[in-house]
């Protein structure tokens, strides 16, 4: 019987660990294509779709192939609010992110839901 008491916490720990693993590292970040960002840390407040904003998307984009849309992230940053337009549709409200000086948004938490 003691093995059953040990099994449930082990399964829950495994489920928690699986939430922080990326099967595709490109999904962990996005390229900002507009406007020039202010670097820092923040939390995504909301996400909006910019229909056909990337008709001429570059090949080195982190977006899914054939995705012509852009995605506007509204971020609550340490220094205030900021909106950035990115090429990756996998970001969700509530995720903690870092905006880098070289124009990328990177996840810094394991709070994302992944669809395979």
pLDDT, residue 21, reads: 55
How far does CA 36 lie from the centroid of its chain?
18
Distance CA 47, CA 89 (A): 9
Q: State phi, psi for 10 to the nearest 5 degrees.
A: -65, -40
Contacts of 27 (CB under 8 A, 6+ apart): 88, 90, 114
pLDDT on residue 116: 46
Mean pLDDT per 10-residue section of the chain, whose length is 116 residues: 68 67 69 90 94 69 71 93 93 93 86 51
Q: What is the pLDDT of residue 79?
A: 86
């Amino acid at each position: 019987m003691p093995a059953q008491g040990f099994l449930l916490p082990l399964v829950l720990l495994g489920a928690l660990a699986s939430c922080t693993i990326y099967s595709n590292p490109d999904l962990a970040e996005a390229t900002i294509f507009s406007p020039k960002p202010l670097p820092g840390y923040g939390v995504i407040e909301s996400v909006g779709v910019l229909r056909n904003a990337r008709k001429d998307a570059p090949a080195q984009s982190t977006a899914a192939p054939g995705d012509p849309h852009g995605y506007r992230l509204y971020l609550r940053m340490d220094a205030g609010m900021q909106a950035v337009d990115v090429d990756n549709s996998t970001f969700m409200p509530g995720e903690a992110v870092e905006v880098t000086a070289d124009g990328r948004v990177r996840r810094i938490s394991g709070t994302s839901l992944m669809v395979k």
